């Protein structure tokens, strides 16, 4: 929704994501940074749901492979709940 305010021309860029799933947004963003003249664009993801990938992209650095489950914690939420958890958990039932 908001663009960056700095030029990336000639710079190395690190894109950081909580969960890399479909890859559509990350691919778009990486390609945009390259179009704007970035020297190199690397991707880091805390969680990688590679089984959900819908585009040809992968993270350069991955914290953990994530099962195909709905996860919360560390800022990730379910209906604004569980965001404050100091760990990543799987939502089960009617959480």
Q: Residue 93: which pLDDT band, with cuts at 50, 70 and 90?
A: confident
Q: What is the rounded distance in angstroms from the CA atom of residue 45 to the CA atom of residue 20?
A: 6
> Which tens digits make up the pLDDT trace of 35-91?
999 999 999 999 999 999 999 999 999 999 999 999 999 889 988 999 999 999 999
Q: What is the DSSP letter of 39?
A: S
pTM for this predicted structure = 0.86
Q: Which of these, 82, 88, 44, lies nearest to 69 by C-alpha position?
A: 88
Domain count, the chain: 1
Q: Has residue 35 been placed in a domain?
A: yes
Q: Has residue 79 been placed in a domain?
A: yes
Q: 95 versus 48: which is more confidently predicted?
A: 48
Q: Has residue 3 been placed in a domain?
A: no
pLDDT recorded at residue 9: 98
CATH code at position 25: 3.40.50.2020
pLDDT recorded at residue 1: 72
Q: Has residue 65 been placed in a domain?
A: yes
Q: Has residue 42 been placed in a domain?
A: yes
User: What is the span of the domain harbouring residue 18?
Assistant: 12-90
């Amino acid at each position: 929704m908001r663009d960056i305010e700095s030029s990336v021309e000639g710079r190395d860029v690190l894109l950081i994501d909580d969960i890399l799933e479909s890859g559509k947004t990350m691919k778009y963003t990486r390609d945009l940074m390259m179009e704007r003249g970035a020297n190199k664009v690397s991707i880091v993801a805390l969680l990688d749901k590679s089984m959900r990938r819908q585009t040809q992209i992968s993270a350069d650095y991955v914290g953990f492979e994530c099962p195909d489950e709905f996860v919360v914690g560390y800022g990730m939420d379910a209906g604004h709940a569980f965001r404050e958890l100091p760990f990543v958990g799987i939502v089960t039932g009617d959480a």
